[in-house]
């Protein structure tokens, strides 16, 4: 499970910075494994996500893209599964 919440005025929120507060830098990397990266990409584009690395086949296997959500957080989304048996 991944729990995603907006920035709120809470004790936890006082421990973090939003990307726009630190020149849109990120301090973590999220990779979301999906079955159909093209479908997720289409949904992300339709919902207003900023695509920062276009969808493409990657040399290590799978299809991946990276986008910013509406609050500026980076998400990498793809079909590459490092635990799958390639053959």
> Considering the domain boundaries, does residue 4 fall inside one?
no
- Residue 33, burial from CB neighbour count under 10 angstroms (0-12, 13-18, 19+): middle
Q: How confident is the model at residue 28 (pLDDT cuts 50, 70, 90)?
A: confident
Alpha-carbon distance of 28 to 10, in angstroms, equals: 21
In a domain, 5, yes or no: no
> For residues 65 and 87, which has the higher predicted lDDT (pLDDT)?
65
Does residue 86 fall inside a structural domain?
A: no
Which has the higher per-residue pLDDT, 82 or 36? Answer: 36
Q: Is residue 11 part of a domain?
A: no
Mean pLDDT rounded to a whole number for the chain: 86
What's the domain range around 57? 24-78
CATH number of the domain to which 69 belongs: 3.30.720.110
- Is the CB of residue 74 less than 8 Å from the CB of residue 68? yes
Number of domains observed in the structure of the chain: 1
The verdict on pTM exceeding 0.85 is no
Q: For residues 79 and 63, give the distance between their C-alpha atoms in angstroms, rounded to a whole number.
A: 5
């Amino acid at each position: 499970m991944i729990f995603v919440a907006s920035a709120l005025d809470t004790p936890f929120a006082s421990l973090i910075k939003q990307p726009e507060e630190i020149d849109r830098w990120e301090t973590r990397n999220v990779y979301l494994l999906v079955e159909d990266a093209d479908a997720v990409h289409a949904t992300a584009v339709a919902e207003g996500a900023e695509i920062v690395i276009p969808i493409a086949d990657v040399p290590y296997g799978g299809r991946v893209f990276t986008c910013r959500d509406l609050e500026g957080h980076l998400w990498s989304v793809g079909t590459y599964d490092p635990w799958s048996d390639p053959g």
